[in-house]
Structure 1
């Protein structure tokens, strides 16, 4: 799940000279030009890097002081990719360096862009990537914590939310049905259980379309859970794009929806709404100024989806 949010990215010249030198040592060539990536939610360096020998690579780098937990997140991605090895649909790590403060990871460069879920054909290709990943990663090829063990505390948020709480008041239907919503969310742990490796943060901005291929990036949050879990977690972000159908209609566009138990999906959606809406009313994180708005927007979609499912008897 989203655990960090958009901020101002570092550019190449923001990175300490000593770290830049280490990156050049890793790639065996001088950096002659960089292009900072757009989209995504890391405050560190994320840039396409042109090298003096004609190659192009993608580099992420972040220091301990760059953003809350950002260096540890990049270390986690590095370690996850090292354990996963080469997957046809996953970003490929070339090298990494870590001095205990700044961590840098070099990836193969992928020529592509994030899919636009507003475009039906691109949304369909994006959905197929979810399905292909679920099929390839079931059972999980590596040992990892369960989704329940790794999930944020606020998936249990409705249990700690009283009537009149600012998080509940964001959505009038949630506020009016808080007790029922609390009950629906209680079963999310059992619902999320499974044997698949789950990406855990698989949104459109963590995918790159290159022709008919889709490469999945940002493997920070991997865990073990139900094969349809990534798709349920993604629907609120997909439906932020103008022109997409209702959340339930979008969810049903994937074959993964047919394998997911209705009550289990509803429980996850209720818990996800708690996570996003309760997170949205917390203080702004200075390094990640757009985080709370992004969480609020997804929380509103998740709440609308929950009501849609309850009204349809899918609970």
Structure 2
């Protein structure tokens, strides 16, 4: 998934010399070539670094002035991975440094590519990774906040929305049924609860197919939630790919949907729809120029899915 983040990312040569020196010191060899990763939204460095000794590592680096909150996000990802320790399906940290301004993390390089949901076999592998991660991380191996706590502001957008608001009017069915949607979304916090650790931002562009393995990356938003939560949050982005099934059919392709209470799924979906649609009409973030378009596209998919579930009585 090219969500265009790579177009605004720092390149290796954009880093201050002292940061490049520290990265090379931690890597154990000079950098001979760097390739910027596509996909994702971070405005910082996200590059494959080819070292003079023949090894390859993956590096993320960001400074406090690079983008709003970006340095703290990378610090959080580093802390989460260090607390989790080695997992067979997670990216692995091999070095890190933080001087209070610039922070960087070096990861083992994974040769592979993001799954393409348009390809049934790759979508199936991606879905198995969701299922295996949900099973492996239930109960949670670490202490973490609940999804309800971490997403309270984002998932409560319908509380303050009114007819005529730009985000509401993006979808005619939402505009015509706003009070019902608001009511459905009101219990999202209880509906999303669970004892397992969820990735919190698990889309196709946060996975790599590598041989027979699937490696999950970008562990910034971990939280406690229902086993099916990550998969539900991912479906709107999966369905942006051509030739994928409609959202409900895509959701049901995973066994995670089989034990998901229909009313809980619909409640969380209603809240997610509000987050996407209302966020998409906010001012553009200069460091993330295509974020609003991506949110709008997912919001419209989520709204259509929500309508279908309500009309089917899955409430």
Same fold (TM over 0.5): yes
1:119 maps to which residue? 119
CA offset digits 1:104-137 (Å, max 9, x no partner): 0000000000000011111000000000000000
**What secondary structure is seen at the aligned counterpart in 2 of 1:259?**
coil
Contact kept? 1:131, 1:254, Cα under 8 Å: yes
Q: Kindly report the root-mean-square deviation, in angstroms, between the aligned alpha carbons of the 2 structures.
A: 1.1
1:184 maps to which residue? 184
Contact kept? 2:171, 2:303, Cα under 8 Å: yes
2:98 maps to which residue? 98
2:199 maps to which residue? 199
What is the distance in 2 between the residues matched to 1:92 and 1:301?
33
Contact kept? 1:154, 1:278, Cα under 8 Å: no
Contact kept? 2:31, 2:52, Cα under 8 Å: yes
What is the distance in 1 between the residues matched to 2:88 and 2:257?
24
Shift of 1:154: 2.9
What is the distance in 2 between the residues matched to 1:240 and 1:152?
26
What is the distance in 2 between the residues matched to 1:171 and 1:239?
17
**What secondary structure is seen at the aligned counterpart in 2 of 1:214?**
strand
- Unmatched runs of 5 consecutive residues or more in structure 2: none
Contact kept? 1:7, 1:41, Cα under 8 Å: no
Ranges of 4+ aligned residues in structure 1 off by more than 6 Å: none
What is the distance in 2 between the residues matched to 1:302 and 1:73?
26
What is the distance in 1 between the residues matched to 2:176 and 2:49?
52
Shift of 1:52: 1.1
Contact kept? 1:196, 1:225, Cα under 8 Å: yes
Aligned residue runs from structure 1 range 1-315, under 5 A? 8-315=8-315
Contact kept? 1:7, 1:288, Cα under 8 Å: no
How many pairs align? 312
Normalised by the length of structure 2, the TM-score is 0.97
- Unmatched runs of 5 consecutive residues or more in structure 1: none
